[in-house]
Amino acid sequence: MRAVVVTTFGGPEAVRVVETEIPEPGAQQVRIKVAAASLNPVDAGVRAGAFGGAGKQLGLGWDVAGTVDAVGATGAWRVGDEVIALHHGMGRPLGTHAEYVVVDADAVAKAPAGVDAAHAATLPLNALTAVQALDLLELTPGQALLVTGAAGAVGGFAVQLAAQRGISVTALARPADEEFVRALGAAEFTSEGVAAASVDAVLDAAVLGARALTWVRDGGAFTGVIPQAAPAPERGVRTGAVEVTADGTRLTELVALVEKDVLTLRVAGTYPLADAATAHARLAEGGVRGRLVLVP
């Protein structure tokens, strides 16, 4: 099969498409014939060497949508099931940017009905990151949340999920994105920031760090999206960062929200697997709204 990997670190030119053996599922695993797999900033980070792994082959891709085509010793899934999954972790020789991928059975959810594979592939990593970040904030209905990077993939899901919970959301994004983020459910919009200590919590999808922390009231909460990169606590504000985990049960709940039109799936463009380096170059240009998706 074909798979997208890096063997040396660098820019988009480091991305390679190689021929390799089709992986076999072990106990409590399934193999998915990939129909679509989204490209995320974490893939660019792996490619650039941000997470280490020098001297090894590193597979790219965390999100997948496709069809189960082989199962290990598990009764949860059947050959032919249309599914999505988060293939979580660093340092793997193969990721989801491939023609086939093996994932843990408990990371899998049924694909959302009525949604094409390219859109379905944009859900797992970003929506799980958003919902797990919101869980860390422990907000209750009526409290005020500022989401930075609100027009991005994680930020957009965070706005919708928070609004669905009855939380009052202020969206921080570029002025051109105001109409979009308000349509997602943001009650307020800003392109500059808010008054100091004026919100109960910040979900910092834009990775503003200490600057965003100043906007949280004393005793509030701050959650970032890069593990070990959160600012130090101050003024009684809890700080931390989400470290996303694969969770098929939670992913199933998110699929249900897609099917109820609570969550919006966005594809910024699709690329053949062979053009993975071109997709990386487009991601590096910035300004992408939604996810770029690779299609084997």
Q: Do 288 and 198 share a structural domain? A: no
Q: Do 19 and 97 share a structural domain? A: yes
Based on the structure, what is the number of domains in the chain?
2
Q: Do 180 and 103 share a structural domain? A: no
What is the per-residue pLDDT across 255-286, written as a single tens digit (0 to 9) for each? 999 999 999 999 999 999 999 999 999 999 99
For residue 90, the model assigns a pLDDT of 81
Q: What is the CATH number of the domain that holds 204?
A: 3.40.50.720
Q: Do 179 and 73 share a structural domain? A: no
Q: Do 114 and 130 share a structural domain? A: no
Q: Which stretches in the chain have pLDDT values below 50?
A: none
For residue 262, the model assigns a pLDDT of 97
For residue 240, the model assigns a pLDDT of 96
Q: Do 205 and 93 share a structural domain? A: no
| Residues pairing with 159 in the sheet | none
For residue 88, the model assigns a pLDDT of 87
Q: Do 130 and 82 share a structural domain? A: no
pTM for the whole thing? 0.96
Inside any domain, residue 255: no
Q: Do 102 and 6 share a structural domain? A: yes
Q: Do 159 and 87 share a structural domain? A: no
Boundaries of domain holding 85: 2-122+266-295
Inside any domain, residue 13: yes
For residue 227, the model assigns a pLDDT of 87
Inside any domain, residue 252: no
Q: Do 162 and 116 share a structural domain? A: no
